[in-house]
Amino acid sequence: MRVRRNVRLEKLFIDTLCESMTVHLMERLVRRIIANYDLHQRSGFPENIPIPQVNAAQQVYMDMMAENLLPRFIEVLIDVDTNGYMGRPVHVRLLPQVLDALQELGLYYDERYGAIVESERKVKTGGWGVLREGFTYELSFLSFDIVGSSEIVRKHTHEEIVHAYTNVKRVAAGLIEKREGRIWRWEGDGALAAFYFGNRNFHVAMAGIEILLELFMYNLFDCPLKEPIGVRLGAHTGPCSFNQNVDEIQSATLNRLAEIDYRYTEPDSLTISPGVYSDLGTKLERFFRPHEVSSRNYLYRYKLRWE
């Protein structure tokens, strides 16, 4: 999510830097996110002429906006205000006002993750307002497919299908977003969701389990179709290059997820890769059973069972 130009935020940001730190410290802090950042080079001031604070602060603001790094730099300011710099305290003045101005633009600082993310009240994007175009991140993914969708469509009216699939989508979306996930892609009979914050492998596994449980109850009491709606879920984790147009994202991680889903996942079950399984902890691990793919390759499956 790109921060749009805002006069109030710009003034507060520049005043904050001018009133809180030297030009030298501004430059040092920017180097936390842009290596070898040089204010003289960026601003055009000769090396032998000191840069006035206001000019330096304006230059930092313009550079942060141009490279879509303003939220990341504000995170640095929050860290410095909390922890100081090189063992010395730094009071970043006007920081609460800066955060208020940022919140008006749909972003807020989430203390759980130490990051500026999209407000729940605003439109949610695939990158949480944090992921940057063309950068590679470690993400966890959940795939979701309705089993036998073509057969279901042939057997029921358009109204019945729309009603049932809308409810399934509502259930899945609510549980994914409750676990801090983002839905990257909805298709007629399936979805792809990404998880980035916190213990993402725990969250992706729990979202999959909760979807299976909720849909079991939906089929039992509310489904308008003649037969229950079956689903398959797969989860995998790994590196992925981010693109704001999520339909254009391609990665070996997503290819492996598709293979797990279509080749190894049974109806009404969740299949997870070893990378996801290894982060679950003993209490959650016991709900998954190993599935041998080859002599040295296992996946792990959760399925609703009557004990």
Question: End-to-end distance of the chain based on CA atoms, in angstroms?
Answer: 47
pLDDT in tens, 67-107: 989 999 999 999 999 999 999 999 999 999 999 999 999 89
pLDDT of 295 over the 80 cut = no
Distance of alpha carbon 14 from alpha carbon 163, whole angstroms: 52
Residue 55 has pLDDT above 70, yes or no: yes
**pTM (predicted TM-score):** 0.84
pLDDT for res 289 = 95
Distance in angstroms (rounded) separating the CA atoms of residues 200 and 206: 10
**2 conformational bin, left if phi > 0, alpha if psi -120 to 50, beta if neither:** beta
Domain edges within the chain: 7-118, 136-303
Q: Label residue 299 by pLDDT band (50, 70, 90).
A: very high
Beta strand pairing status for 231-241 and 269-272?
A: parallel
CATH of region 136-303? 3.30.70.1230
Query: Over 90: is that where the pLDDT of 254 sits?
Result: yes
* Residue given tokens 């296992």 in the structure block: 298
Greater confidence (151 vs 124) lies with 151
AA letter at 5: R
* Tokens, residue 304: 């609703």
Instruction: Report d(CA 6, CA 101) in Å as an integer.
Output: 9
pLDDT at 2 > cutoff 80 = no
Q: Please name every residue paired with 272 in a beta bridge, in sequence order, or none if there are none.
A: 235, 300
**Spatial distance between the Cα atoms of 99 and 170, rounded to a whole number of angstroms:** 32
